[in-house]
Amino acid sequence: LIELKNLTKTFKAYDSSFKSSKTRIKATDDISLQIKKADSLGIVGESGSGKTTLANLITGILHPDSGKILYKNRDILSSGEKLFREYRKNVQMIFQDPYSSLNPKLKIYSTLKDGIKRHITKDKKDIYSRCVELMEMVGLTEKHLSRYPHQFSGGQMQRISIARALSIEPEIVVADEPVSSLDVSIQAQILNLLQKLRKESGKTLLLIAHDLAIVNFLCDEILVMYKGKALEYGKSSEVIKNPLHPYTKNLLEATTKKDIKKVTTETTGLCPYAGRCKFFMDICRNELYKYQATETHYALCNLYK
């Protein structure tokens, strides 16, 4: 359905006085990935690992510096505006913060109807019926359509964000840390809702998270990122039961310790994790070995060379 080929995106670095420097930080570094129809892929990493940038590239919010994004074997960046519009319609995002992603001046009905009117139908009765259906789909009711965002709790607003993402019947839903801003008591409800909707609709799901437990719960496959690099990829069962990269092992430990540190920009080798790895070797300065453990599971690590 989607194939990423050598996707790279860099940003300017800024010093302590907020002045631009000549240094550029690679938010995504040569990422290649295939996403099949009805797949569920979890992209996991610490804050600053590049996972949200990758999500923004996949949704078309950002354009890469180099590399290709193929949608049904066609490059969305060089095949014309028509294909790009079709792609944007079929890839919808659930943002991390529901409070800032919903227009506070619009009632929920207006928030939902605009996309439906533009992409699905212009019939007023059909639009309203679709909005009611969406509300019920996410555990809300028809009466909620006449309310404003400030009249809802955080969990309810995230449900509305999910309804909006599904409103124009996309093929792919990208969820960027959809529960990180919610109370723990509400997180399980939203995760269960996402799992239920994915199974019922058969849509492709890309989940961005820093918690491997959440990704394992919702996703069939896991991509582990650090400093823009894909350090490990495999089926969820493989990555959880047999983590290969030292960074993945640290993330699993942090799942129980709840101690996720922000990524620093310093590095001492070709491997982006070299500066923090207790297994660091001289070879890590100049080489990065791709170890293929199984047909579906690999890691970039010199330990296996």
The DSSP call for residue 258 is T
Query: What is the mean pLDDT, run by run of 10 residues, along the chain of 305 residues?
Result: 94 69 84 92 93 94 94 90 91 89 93 93 95 95 96 93 94 92 86 90 92 91 95 96 95 69 59 89 90 95 92
Does some domain include residue 132? no
Say how many domains are in the chain: 1
Does some domain include residue 116? no
Does some domain include residue 131? no
Query: What's residue 261's pLDDT?
Result: 52
CATH number of the domain bearing residue 258 = 3.40.50.300
Does some domain include residue 140? no
The DSSP call for residue 10 is E
Asked if 219 contacts 36 with a C-beta cutoff of 8 angstroms, the reply is: no
The DSSP call for residue 263 is P
Beta-strand ranges (E) seen in the chain are: 2-14, 20-35, 40-44, 66-71, 74-75, 91-94, 172-176, 204-209, 221-226, 229-235, 290-294, 297-300
Round to whole Å and give the CA distance between 242 and 230: 17
Does some domain include residue 161? no
Which domain, by its residues, includes 27? 2-99+170-304
Round to whole Å and give the CA distance between 245 and 303: 9
Nearest CA among 52, 71, 58 for reference residue 2: 71
The whole-model pTM stands at: 0.89
Does some domain include residue 108? no
Instruction: Reduce the DSSP state of residue 64 to 3 states and report it.
Output: coil
Does some domain include residue 123? no
Asked if 29 contacts 211 with a C-beta cutoff of 8 angstroms, the reply is: no
Asked if 198 contacts 124 with a C-beta cutoff of 8 angstroms, the reply is: no
Please give the biggest Cα pair distance in the chain.
68
Asked if 236 contacts 215 with a C-beta cutoff of 8 angstroms, the reply is: yes
Does some domain include residue 155? no
